[in-house]
Amino acid sequence: RKWVKAKLNYVTGMLSQSNTQPNDNEVPGWLYQVNSNEASAFPSKCPRCDADYGKRKIFPTPLRTHRTGFQKACQVIAGGLLREMPAPSPQSIRSPRKLVIFSDSRQDAAKLAAGMERDHYRDMVRLLLIQSFKNYWTDFVEYLKNFYAENPALNPNLIESENPALYEKIITDPEIFDTQKADEFSNRYLEIAREAERWMRSQRPQNDNFRNDWLKMLREYPNRVSLLDLRRKLRDSLLRYGICPGGTDFSALNYSIGQNSGRVWHPWFDCYEWGRSVVPVSPSTPEQTNHLDRLEGKLADEMMYAIFIHVARVLENIGQGWVSYSPVGNPPDVLVQVVDAVIRQLGIRRLHRYSSYFRLGNNKNLPGYCERYSKRVTGISSADVCQQLTASSAGIGSSNSLVLNPDRLYLVPPSTLNSSGKPSGYRCPQCNAFYLHLAGGICPECNTSRNENAPIVKLEPSQVRSDFDYYTYLSEQSGQPFRMNAAELTGQTDKDERPKRQRWFQDVFISEEIPKVQGIDLLSVTTTMEAGVDIGALLAVMMSNMPPRRFNYQQRVGRAGRRSAGVSLAVTFCRGRSHDDFYFQRPESITGDPPPPPYVDMRTEAIFKRVLLKEVLRQAFAETEISSSLELTDSVHGEFGKVEDWDQYKPQIRAWLQDNSNESKILSILEALKTQVGLNTEDSQFLDYLRSALIPEIDHIVADTTYTQDTLSERLANAGYLPMFGFPTRVRLLYTKWSDKETIDRDLDVAIGQFAPGSQTVRDKAVHTACGVVELVPQNNSINVKPGFSPALTEHNQALGLCSNCQAVVYPYQPDQPITGSNTTQLSACPVCHQQSLRSLDAREPKGFFTDLCPEDYDGQFEWQPRSTRPTISINSPAGNPMLVLNANVSSVSDRIISINDNGGKGGFDFQNASVFGKPQPGAYVVADAIEGSDRVTGSEKKYKIALLARRRTDILLVNIAHWSEGIFADPMTVEGRSAWYSFAFWLRIAASAYLDVDLEELQAGFRTLAQDGRVVGEGFICDSLENGAGYCNFLANPHQFEEVMRQSDIDNDRSIACRWLNPQVHGRNCDTSCNDCLRDYRNLAYHGLLDWRLALDMARLVRDSSVTIDLTSNWGNFPNPWQSLVVGAISSTFQRLGYDGPIQFANLTGFVKNQRTRREIRIIRHPLWNDRHPQWIEAEANARKKYPKHEIKQANPLIALRRPGDYV
pLDDT, tens digit (0-9, with 9 covering 90-100), for 1149-1194: 999 999 888 889 999 999 999 999 999 999 999 999 999 999 999 9
pLDDT at position 531 over 80: no
The 10 Å Cβ neighbour count of residue 400 is 16
Give the CA distances from residue 309 to residues 25, 119, 344, 465, 811, in Å, rounded to whole numbers and listed in that order.
34, 12, 11, 18, 54
CA–CA dist 1045, 1058 (Å, integer): 12
Alpha-helical (H) ranges within 309-360 are 333-348
How do 486-489 and 522-525 pair as beta strands?
A: parallel
Burial 364-398 (b: 16+ CB within 10 A, else e): bebbebbbbbbebbeebebebbbbbbbebebbbeb
Q: Band the pLDDT of 632: cuts 50, 70, 90.
A: low
Q: Determine the average pLDDT of the residues in 806-833.
A: 89
Q: Determine the average pLDDT of the residues in 321-331.
A: 94
The pLDDT, as a whole number, for residue 610 is 86
For the packed helices 382-391 and 368-375, what is the interaxial angle rounded to 10 degrees?
120
Q: Determine the average pLDDT of the residues in 860-878.
A: 72
Q: Determine the average pLDDT of the residues in 531-543.
A: 78
Burial class of residue 118 (count of CB atoms within 10 Å of its CB; 0-12, 13-18, 19+)? buried
**Mean pLDDT, all residues of the chain:** 89
CA–CA dist 557, 531 (Å, integer): 11
pLDDT at position 1031 over 50: yes
Give the CA distances from residue 594 to residues 100, 546, 597, 1075, in Å, rounded to whole numbers and listed in that order.
25, 17, 9, 18
Closest by CA position to 878, among listed 890, 895, 866, 863? 895
Residue length of the chain: 1209
Percentage of the chain surpassing pLDDT 70? 94
Q: Band the pLDDT of 727: cuts 50, 70, 90.
A: very low
Identify the H or E element spanning 583: helix 578-585
CA–CA dist 974, 122 (Å, integer): 50
Alpha-helical (H) ranges within 1019-1066 are 1032-1036, 1039-1046, 1057-1062
CA–CA dist 470, 313 (Å, integer): 10
Which distant-in-sequence residues (6+ apart) come within 8 Å of 331 by Cβ?
A: 339, 384, 388
- pLDDT tens digits, one per residue of 365-405: 999 999 999 999 988 999 999 999 999 999 999 999 999 99
The pLDDT, as a whole number, for residue 615 is 92
pLDDT at position 456 over 70: yes
Diameter over CA atoms, the chain = 114
pLDDT at position 469 over 80: no
Identify the H or E element spanning 1124: helix 1124-1126
The pLDDT, as a whole number, for residue 707 is 77
The helix, strand and coil proportions of the chain, stated in percent and rounded to the nearest 5, come to 35, 20, 40
CA–CA dist 523, 483 (Å, integer): 13
Percentage of the chain surpassing pLDDT 90? 56
In angstroms and rounded to an integer, the radius of gyration of the C-alpha atoms of the chain is: 36
CA–CA dist 640, 632 (Å, integer): 9
DSSP string over 126-152: HHHHHHHHHHHHHHHHHHHHHHHHH-T
pLDDT at position 930 over 90: no
Q: Determine the average pLDDT of the residues in 906-921.
A: 93
CA–CA dist 1170, 970 (Å, integer): 8
CA–CA dist 402, 347 (Å, integer): 12
Q: Which tops the pLDDT comparison, 174 or 864?
A: 174
The pLDDT, as a whole number, for residue 181 is 87
- Classify the phi-psi angles of 79: left when phi > 0, otherwise alpha if psi is within -120 to 50, otherwise beta: alpha
CB < 8 Å & 24+ apart, contacts of 1093-1097: 1093/983, 1093/987, 1093/1061, 1093/1067, 1094/1122, 1094/1123, 1095/979, 1095/980, 1095/983, 1095/984, 1095/1168, 1095/1169, 1095/1199, 1096/980, 1096/983, 1096/984, 1096/986, 1096/987, 1097/987, 1097/1049, 1097/1058, 1097/1061, 1097/1062, 1097/1122
List strand residue ranges (DSSP E) for 305-418, in order: 322-324, 395-396, 403-404, 410-412
pLDDT at position 934 over 50: yes
| 966: three-class secondary structure by DSSP | coil
For the chain, give me the number of helices (H) and strands (E)? 36, 45
The pLDDT, as a whole number, for residue 309 is 85
Q: What is the DSSP letter of 1128?
A: I
- For the chain, the structural domain boundaries read 2-33, 125-299, 309-476, 605-718, 731-868+900-951, 964-1104, 1124-1208
The 10 Å Cβ neighbour count of residue 948 is 28
Q: Band the pLDDT of 731: cuts 50, 70, 90.
A: confident
CA–CA dist 234, 744 (Å, integer): 37
> Do 712 and 694 form a contact (C-beta atoms < 8 A)?
no
CA–CA dist 484, 440 (Å, integer): 42
Closest by CA position to 409, among listed 433, 389, 385, 431? 389
Closest by CA position to 1072, among listed 1057, 1061, 1083, 1059? 1061
DSSP string over 811-827: EEESTTS-BSS-EEEEE
- Which residues, in sequence order, are bridge partners of residue 789? 846
CA–CA dist 1149, 967 (Å, integer): 15
Closest by CA position to 775, among listed 797, 796, 799, 751? 751
The gap between the terminal CA atoms of the chain, to the nearest Å, is 27
- pLDDT tens digits, one per residue of 1065-1121: 889 888 999 999 999 988 888 899 999 999 999 999 999 999 999 999 999 999 999
Out of 170-174, 548-552, 649-653, pick the least confident: 548-552
The 10 Å Cβ neighbour count of residue 147 is 20
